[in-house]
């Protein structure tokens, strides 16, 4: 919002009429999807709500059903032969539907505000190709930082945990269906960073949509218990399996995509002890050993302990 304030004070100039025109002409514009005969911002908002909900619904069931069938049914003896647990799939699906329905109304407010108040842009020529990698780094830093602390606060304060986040942790033994099973306010709080980075610095609309797709896909994949790509810069599935363990597990591996903040703040736990019988798991770790050792040398798994020992 600093940029918007600077715009109001005349320090920077953004032609909002042009931004709105570019927004309306973009393929993602909800008005091109469904309109219900309503004009103005109310019609745009309702269209955005419908588009967001239906897209989330389709993506959730496509990814979660595919992942569950592949890892938990068709190839269970290959990937998860030792995983014998009580899954609450119907509970997870119920809360996923509740979450998607109600969170959509909140998220759509931000989506409608983006072309009117943010620094979202639609033509690469506005900033050039050189700015794309910079905006990717800025977004990841912003999203990772805010999401880590929001998630940590949800575990730190009993009231927030009991009223909001406990819904997600009801499933101690997780499946891909657990990826969206949140209280809507909990999910929205953790989604705000992804949706608001464009209010802090310029980001291309297509890149914003890509990050949204990555976030959804990641939320499903980290609940499958299979560490297919065990590069420890990332917080992959077995990291998250630990996070769902009863007791102190909830205060471990709190980050979103990367392990950076967990390592800095001492909430990181190595995921290697989790193996549900996939005999190629160690082979995958061996392949990435040099990369993981290099990362460990740059950012040790527990910076706090190292500082205390000095």
Question: Any idea which of 36-40, 154-158, 163-167 has the lowest mean pLDDT?
Answer: 36-40
- Residues 59 and 144: beta-carbon distance below 8 Å: no
204 strand-pairing partners? 121
Residue 36: per-residue pLDDT: 66
38 pLDDT more than 70: no
Each as own residue / partner, the long-range contacts of residues 164-170 (CB below 8 Å, 24 or more positions apart, any chain) are: 164/189, 167/95, 168/95, 169/244, 169/250, 170/88, 170/91
Alpha carbon dihedral 247, 252, 255, 257, in 10-degree steps, equals: -100
Burial class (CB in 10 A: 0-12, 13-18, 19+), 41: exposed
Question: Any idea which of 15-19, 59-63, 172-176, 189-193 has the lowest mean pLDDT?
Answer: 15-19
12 pLDDT more than 90: no
Residue 308 binned pLDDT confidence (cut-offs 50, 70, 90): low
175: tokens are 């499946």
Residue 250: per-residue pLDDT: 83
Residue 175: per-residue pLDDT: 96
Average pLDDT over residues 43-49: 91
Instruction: Give pLDDT tens digits for 280-305.
Output: 999 999 999 999 999 999 999 876 65
Instruction: Give pLDDT tens digits for 71-106.
Output: 999 999 999 999 988 899 999 999 999 999 999 999
155: tokens are 């575990």
Quote the mean pLDDT of the chain: 91
Residue with tokens 């003896």: 77
* DSSP alpha helix (H) spans, the chain: 2-8, 16-25, 40-67, 76-79, 89-117, 131-156, 158-160, 166-169, 184-196, 205-221, 237-243, 260-265, 281-287, 289-298, 303-309
Residue with the larger pLDDT of the pair 14 and 151: 151
Whole-number Å distance between alpha carbons of 257 and 167: 21
Closest to 189 in 3D by CA, of 240, 150, 143, 149? 150
Residue 212: per-residue pLDDT: 95
248 pLDDT more than 70: yes
Residue 307: per-residue pLDDT: 52
Tell me, rounded to whole angstroms, the distance of Cα 79 from its chain centroid: 25
Residue 1: per-residue pLDDT: 53
Closest to 79 in 3D by CA, of 199, 224, 249, 213? 224
Average pLDDT over residues 211-235: 95
**Phi-psi category of residue 120: left, alpha or beta, with phi > 0 → left and psi -120 to 50 → alpha:** beta
139: tokens are 């977004």
Average pLDDT over residues 12-29: 84
Residue 57 binned pLDDT confidence (cut-offs 50, 70, 90): very high
Instruction: Give pLDDT tens digits for 111-132.
Output: 999 998 899 999 999 999 999 9
Residue 4: per-residue pLDDT: 59
**DSSP states of 134-160 as a string?**
HHHHHHHHHHHHHHHHHHHHHHHSHHH
């Amino acid at each position: 919002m600093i940029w918007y304030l600077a715009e109001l004070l005349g320090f920077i100039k953004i032609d909002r009429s042009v931004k709105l025109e570019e927004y309306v002409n973009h393929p993602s514009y909800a008005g091109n999807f469904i309109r219900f005969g309503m004009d103005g911002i109310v019609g745009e908002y309702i269209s955005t709500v419908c588009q967001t909900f239906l897209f989330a619904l389709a993506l959730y069931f496509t990814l979660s059903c595919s992942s569950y069938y592949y890892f938990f049914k068709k190839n269970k003896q290959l990937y998860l032969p030792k995983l014998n647990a009580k899954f609450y799939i119907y509970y997870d699906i119920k809360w996923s539907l509740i979450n998607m329905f109600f969170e959509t109304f909140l998220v759509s407010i931000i989506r409608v505000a983006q072309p009117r108040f943010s620094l979202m842009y639609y033509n690469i020529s506005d900033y050039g190709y050189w700015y794309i990698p910079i905006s990717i780094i800025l977004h990841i830093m912003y999203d990772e930082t805010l999401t880590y602390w929001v998630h940590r606060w949800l575990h730190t304060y009993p009231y927030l945990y009991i009223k909001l986040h406990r819904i997600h942790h009801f499933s101690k033994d997780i499946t891909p269906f657990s990826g969206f099973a949140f209280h809507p306010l909990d999910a929205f709080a953790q989604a705000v960073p992804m949706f608001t980075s464009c209010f802090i610095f310029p980001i291309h609309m297509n890149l914003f949509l890509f990050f949204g797709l990555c976030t959804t896909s990641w939320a499903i994949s980290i609940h499958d218990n299979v560490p297919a790509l065990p590069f420890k810069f990332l917080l992959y599935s077995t990291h998250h399996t630990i996070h769902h363990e009863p007791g102190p597990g909830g205060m471990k591996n709190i980050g979103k995509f990367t392990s950076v903040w967990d390592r800095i703040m001492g909430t990181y736990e190595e995921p290697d002890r989790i193996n549900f019988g996939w005999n190629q798991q160690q082979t995958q770790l061996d392949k990435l050993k040099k990369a993981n050792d290099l990362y460990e040398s740059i950012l040790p798994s527990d910076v706090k302990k190292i500082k205390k020992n000095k």
